[in-house]
Amino acid sequence: MASIKYNPNGQKGKITYSSDIVSGIVVLSLQETEGIELIPSKSKGIKISFEKEGVFVDISVIAHYGYKVPELAYRIQQTIKQMVESMTMYKIAKVDVHVQSVVFPETEPAPAPANSAEEPDDKKN
């Protein structure tokens, strides 16, 4: 569990967030990023650690074919940083993005020509 001292109006006390809350915000930010999928696993490929310098996020994703990987990684980093910092008041120190694989679009089989389905003329009747 991580905590942050936040004192907007001179109030005393602290706000505590569990790592699950921050992880949930990271998942939301990834769902808003077009062109990627989360790694299907228990941890969803997300590791979060709270250090003195800030929050370190390490994520693994699958990219969709046709998207530029460096641009995807940059958008992921920016989205996570913006959402976590605005929702929790934590400072993001670093976001490491690991693209594990690329998903290619499924190709549909070509339809069979219409003539091949008909019987030859000599077999009719």
- The pLDDT of residue 19: 84
Average pLDDT, stretch 107-121?
61
57-72 per-position pLDDT tens digit:
999 999 999 999 999 9
Q: β-pairing, 46-51 with 36-38? A: unpaired
- The pLDDT of residue 108: 67
10-43 per-position pLDDT tens digit:
667 777 778 889 999 999 999 988 999 888 776 6
Share of the chain above pLDDT 70, in %: 75
Mean pLDDT over the full length of the chain: 82
Q: What angle do CA 23, 65, 99 make, to 5 degrees?
A: 40
- The pLDDT of residue 16: 77
Sign of CA dihedral 116, 117, 123, 125: negative
Residue 53: DSSP 8-state: T
Separation between Cα atoms, residue 21 and residue 14, nearest integer Å: 16
Residues across the chain: 125
So where are the chain's domains?
16-104
Q: Is the pLDDT of residue 114 over 80?
A: no
Burial of 84: CB neighbours in 10 Å, binned 0-12, 13-18, 19+ = buried
Cβ proximity of 63 and 99 under 8 Å: yes
Separation between Cα atoms, residue 106 and residue 31, nearest integer Å: 21
What class has domain 16-104?
alpha beta
